[in-house]
Chain A
């Protein structure tokens, strides 16, 4: 038997084989010694995929519960052709898989929750630069605020969802604090889409809600326009959306983001 053929068969049996251990063993015995031990490799693959999913999608898998997770992980194992060399890369299609699976009918927010968790995990692995300090920020505002351009750290991202993802995550992470008040089966869509910002501080990935106007302003800043242009656009946005000047707390927002290492020098 040629090496390539043997490797193709073994890989296929590990990933797709769904026969009984006995039937599997009989098939493999043509070229394998001790085929009854083949389950070690087969189970090992599934266990690794599950471990990777649990690590990246802690809240999503918590919502699913043990049995449903086992089933969906098994489906994902057959669905995903893993080209990545690390296990984090092995589970990046999980949100898409959830979106197309039946579990989305039971938990319509689940794919968006998984996407949100994936963004958080990516933030952990992204590059970062020396953040702007509050002192430098104050300097910028003192000297030439109109022309100031803020560079957003590569590990910062935003997310928009029709579901209260941050509430769901908090409830999943702290079930004892929730004391049963949060019913995962009765989650309602938000009245309007919810924006979130994902960032990290001292290597801890964090997320916060953004108001619509905050999100609009942040996206302007991230697009590279200067502070003066971003403020002008924000005023137009506020007028169109019936917001008052009091809602536009630009200085406060910027300070908060600077304090949370969102920008780099």
Chain B
């Protein structure tokens, strides 16, 4: 049965609407953002953990950026798929950061990153079965109760699969979205990478996603390693992923989208050109009247 979560506040940005294509905030571009007399992008995304355990310069910069830009908090260590996930310290720190930054969206990944008090700093895949679903739904419930917000989880790229998976990835995600009431951060590059790595149909994946669950889209580059693709975020978005993005926009409407570029980070100008490509697709395509410019005046979802 789908859970009622009226106690969660809707995604909020002081009544404003977040839309368009954002970029990841990286130290290399701090100064560009500060020096620019006008807003360079509609919003930025940061890796939550880089600001959760510091009171120094990183947090100072983030607060300064927040004065001009809506901020998305994107985590990599929530480990929502860990068995008996007791991450109170983590959730306390995340709650403090949310309070301080008032992000427009809070997200992490459909994965596990560690067990007990031991972290791997990687987004490790899960078997797609009932036990994983039960574990994740229970953990999401704990997280959403703690942060008093809807959490959005991203589909991850994977290189290995599990023999005891019972359903497909997209069925797995839909089931969790339905049971937990969490949202989906749809990474189009990860859909493409997994489709290639496991011989699946990327468009079929997009077709089966519940459109009402998506709060944000990620686009990134990847690398080719032997016979598989590796999600490296170290280059431009490839043509096939642009095609898939176009397809996703047709199906889901204009959803706030992020260009991720985390390795071999280029000058801001190059990153902005990549961003503009996504913006052009979004605006030029006139997809479904920006359904996903989230209307914050009412809860995003009926729970």
Contacts and interface: CB of A to CB of B under 8 A. Distances in A.
B192 interface: no
B122 A86 contact: no
Interface string A9-51: 0110011000000000000101111110110110011001000
A246 interface: no
Given A3-B83, A203-B57, A32 B160 contact: yes
Contact of A81 (B117, B121, B124): B117
A90 B121 contact: yes
Interface in A119-143: 123-128
B119 A33 contact: no
B50 interface: yes
Given A4-B84, A8-B115, A85 B122 contact: no
B120 A11 contact: yes
Contact of A44 (B55, B84, B90, B122): B122
By secondary structure, the B interface counts as mixed
Contacts of A14: 120, 122
A111 B103 CA distance: 41
Interface string A43-79: 0110010000000000000000000000000000000
Contacts of A86: 49-50, 52-53, 77
Interface in B83-102: 83-84, 87, 89-90, 93
A240 to B, nearest CB: 38
B32 interface: no
B231 to A, nearest CB: 10
A35 B164 contact: no
Interface in A85-133: 85-90, 123-128
Given A86-B52, A125-B56, A155-B56, A2 B118 contact: no
Interface string B178-217: 0000000000000000000100000000000000000000
Interface stretch (B10-18, B127-135, B277-285, B295-303): B127-135
A85 B127 contact: no
Interface residues of B, number: 43
A84 B119 contact: yes
Given A4-B83, A37-B228, A85-B119, A127 B56 contact: yes
Contacts of B228: 34, 37
B56 A124 contact: yes
Nearest to B231: A40
6 contacts: A3-B127, A7-B115, A85-B89, A88-B53, A88-B54, A128-B55
Given A3-B83, A37-B228, 19 more contacts: A3-B126, A3-B132, A4-B84, A6-B127, A15-B118, A15-B120, A31-B162, A32-B163, A33-B161, A34-B160, A34-B161, A40-B230, A44-B122, A48-B122, A85-B52, A86-B50, A89-B53, A124-B54, A125-B55
